[in-house]
């Protein structure tokens, strides 16, 4: 079978779906592997790194797609490339099913198999394929680094002959994978760390990393069966606002990570709360691309309100593209391995397999 990947729009996406390390594994699995010229050169992966492993490098991406059985990507290709796809080809990636619904519906009518890995079930067997967790882990780390870089004071407590500099106080809003990595990173760098989340299961995890969990009085556990956060009631939102408003008076840096799958990001930090911030506070909003957790977040801009700087990027992982690509490529390989019948050298779309059934766009 021919397995391929084509270049992403590098202005928007610097990550790649196949690294040389993983290319070798695909070939060992029995695939013929085709990539376009300069596929990974921007990350230091030269064409010869791939050729030496047996990868075929071609100039024409349309030719690559035309002869493909399986196409693996980060994002959904552009419309020109999608128009060249043919019946029975398989497309695998992070296809953003909520934003790209119409395009994916068109591909279904053409009988193209589309698998989107953000739909993976949260089961033990799927952990090695979980692109959301691997990428969010890096995003949580990098968000802290970016916020600390903008913050114009020291982070750890420092005792000097001239006096003591207090440790920075960091609040993590949303303690999922990204939030927990943010807790761990901020703590390692000497900050005092607080965190809040609608899922009560997060309390133990935050405390195990040395953070203090802020609990809304009378909180219920707002967690789906799949382990994601679900929308809070109006009563909960009001109590959370009151708790945050009071907490923000003493916070120096806020990392926002709260997302609800398939919906606009919840607006957690409201306009009136900005009156409570200290001058010089920094907010990094990882939810920016889905509308942001603050009312003032703008994608790829630093917005300043009442002396508070708010950052939010379309793709923070473009600042860690090599690490992110390495993890994404491994996730993707593990998914393809589960989908591939090595003995018969074909894909086995077995809908009794929960992983395959949940990720196939129907």
Kindly list the catalytic residues.
122, 127, 130, 133, 228
85/1 Cα distance (integer angstroms): 16
Distance between CA 125 and CA 17 in Å, rounded?
21
Query: What whole-number distance in Å separates Cα of residue 298 and Cα of residue 283?
Result: 12
Closest of 150, 3, 155, 18 to residue 74, by C-alpha? 18
Given a contact cutoff of 8 angstroms between Cβ atoms, the answer to whether 20 and 302 are in contact is no
- Estimate to the nearest angstrom the gap between the alpha carbon of 105 and the chain centroid: 24
Total length of the chain: 362
Question: CA quadruple 120, 125, 127, 128: dihedral positive or negative?
Answer: negative
Closest CA relative to residue 93, chosen from 108, 112, 111, 71: 71
| Cα–Cα distance for residue pair 172/157, rounded to 1 Å | 19
């Amino acid at each position: 079978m021919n397995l391929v990947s084509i270049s992403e729009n590098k202005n928007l996406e610097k990550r790649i779906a196949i690294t040389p390390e993983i290319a070798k594994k695909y070939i060992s699995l029995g695939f013929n592997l085709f990539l376009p010229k300069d596929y990974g050169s921007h990350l230091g992966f030269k064409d010869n790194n791939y050729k030496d492993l047996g990868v075929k490098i071609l100039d024409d991406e349309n030719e690559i797609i035309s002869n493909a059985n399986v196409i693996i990507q980060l994002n959904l290709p552009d419309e020109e490339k999608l128009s060249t796809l043919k019946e029975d080809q398989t497309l695998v990636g992070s296809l953003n099913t909520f934003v790209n619904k119409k395009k994916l519906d068109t591909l279904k009518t053409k009988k193209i198999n589309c698998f989107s890995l953000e739909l993976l079930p949260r089961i033990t067997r799927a952990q090695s394929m979980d692109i959301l967790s691997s990428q969010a882990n890096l995003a949580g780390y990098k968000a802290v680094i970016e916020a600390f870089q903008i913050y114009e004071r020291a982070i750890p407590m420092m005792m000097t002959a001239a006096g003591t500099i207090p440790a920075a106080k960091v609040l993590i809003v949303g303690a999922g994978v990204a939030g927990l990595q943010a807790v761990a990173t901020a703590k390692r760098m000497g900050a005092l760390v607080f965190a809040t989340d609608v899922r009560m299961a997060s309390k133990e995890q935050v405390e195990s990393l040395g953070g203090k969990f802020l609990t809304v009085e009378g909180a219920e556990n707002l967690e789906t069966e799949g382990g994601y956060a679900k929308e809070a009631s109006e009563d909960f939102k009001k109590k959370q606002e009151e708790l945050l408003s009071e907490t923000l008076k003493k916070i120096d840096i806020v990392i926002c990570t709260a997302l609800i799958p398939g919906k606009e990001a919840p607006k957690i930090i409201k306009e009136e709360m900005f009156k409570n911030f200290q001058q010089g506070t920094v907010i990094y909003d990882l939810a920016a691309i889905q509308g942001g957790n603050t009312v003032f977040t703008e994608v790829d801009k630093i917005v300043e309100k009442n002396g508070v700087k708010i950052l939010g990027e379309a793709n923070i992982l473009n600042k860690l593209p090599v690490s992110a690509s390495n993890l994404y490529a491994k996730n993707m390989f593990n998914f393809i391995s589960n989908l591939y019948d090595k003995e018969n050298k074909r894909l086995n779309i077995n809908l009794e397999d929960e992983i395959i059934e949940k990720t196939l766009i129907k």
